[in-house]
A and B are shown apart, each in its own frame.
Chain A
């Protein structure tokens, strides 16, 4: 336990709830850390001299005469080059059996960057996942959530993003991870030999849930260090923000605050915005991009957590299991990256916007054909072709397990368009058709059409 010379020890707790305790104390500040009965706690409310402390490990067994020692500082992280490749807990202490951190003690949870010191995001950040790079291209400094059902493999996708994303540093903030998930992340990163560019802050289900409130701030403080001092492109992956928000609701409930929609605290929007607004593009080239997972309860996007998240972030990515191909895909209809227009066709190949829009339009035609099929209507020859196209498009481009460069995705897109449609059906600009349409493909289409008509 930390010792400070002449520190004042309080021994008269006036009120104890499940997560908090209150006492009369002097000179305490908001977010200041303290030890209550040797358990770490944080100041969450001050009214006159009555200070309320949130005890991270819970208050069970704390007597009213327990020792309370204020540390005089808010939570901090030791920041330095030795952070790289480390697995740390919510307090920033190593959990990987490695040495203690030796860097500079830095306060976490500072303010987000002043808008006038920011640059308009305009740099592409590629992930190798077509559902993202092709249809919902991300930009450095963007903040975007994955909306997923709890049974979907979102942590595997986070690990995939950590390994494939072309960023200088990847910082993982794991909240409420099962031990299996934690070991999965650890083994995946170790086996890929990618630890030198990854830092992970982990709160597992075995740790006190309240601790996970510090994980995003820890991750973002580390991200700010690399983005501002070394002008690096930093990708922050946060999983799962729903579990983070659940703890916000538990704490606010125990502090007897009036709950808002879905039992969430009234400050939910601000609490989430404080995290997401740390995404930034600096003029010197450094950037922080945030991809977070928000699990949905029964796919309900009207719940307060995804609803508030949607107002803050710049789009959303929807995960869905496609029953036709049996793979997890990024739903092209429900997903959107609001900043993609800043880079597609500008930093990517000129045909990117047209290939993307055409493929999704034809995929929508396939969805209509599928509805017709399910309702027992006859399908036209065009409907059959759209269905075949949709199957291949899902398998080769929407499935998250395909790893392609953006040019390969576009070439695959052209190949699929030419395999199933004629030039006039795709409606792409003529000069692009001349340049990129695969030679000889259209003849096959005519044959397919003739065969199915006959």
Chain B
């Protein structure tokens, strides 16, 4: 899967992807398909939606 992201400043890239990584980690810690799992999945999708270039 290939995606393009748009950032205003270079410094934003690191911090953005650290947040994405945290959501993935929390998903990994959660029970598969549990409410918590879906919450982090939604959070991840929303994060990606913020910066993704259509």
Contact = CB atoms under 8 A, between A and B. Distances in A.
A453 B8 CA distance: 14
B22 A425 contact: yes
B11 A427 contact: no
B22 A424 contact: yes
A82 B21 CA distance: 60
Output the residue of A424, A425, A426, A429 with the most chain B CB within 10 A. A424
B15 A382 contact: yes
B26 A429 contact: yes
A430 B26 contact: yes
A453 to B, nearest CB: 8
Nearest to B19: A424
Contacts of B26: 427, 429-430
A381 interface: yes
Interface residues on A, range: 10 to 19
Nearest to A421: B18
Contact of A424 (B11, B18, B29, B36): B18
A279 to B, nearest CB: 35
Interface string B4-37: 0000000100110011011001100100000010
A17 interface: no
Given A427-B18, A427-B22, A429-B29, 15 more contacts: A380-B14, A381-B11, A382-B11, A382-B15, A382-B18, A424-B18, A424-B22, A425-B18, A426-B22, A427-B21, A427-B25, A427-B26, A429-B26, A430-B29, A453-B11
23 contacts: A380-B11, A380-B14, A381-B11, A382-B11, A382-B14, A382-B15, A382-B18, A424-B18, A424-B19, A424-B22, A425-B18, A425-B22, A426-B22, A427-B18, A427-B21, A427-B25, A427-B26, A429-B26, A429-B29, A430-B26, A430-B29, A430-B36, A453-B11
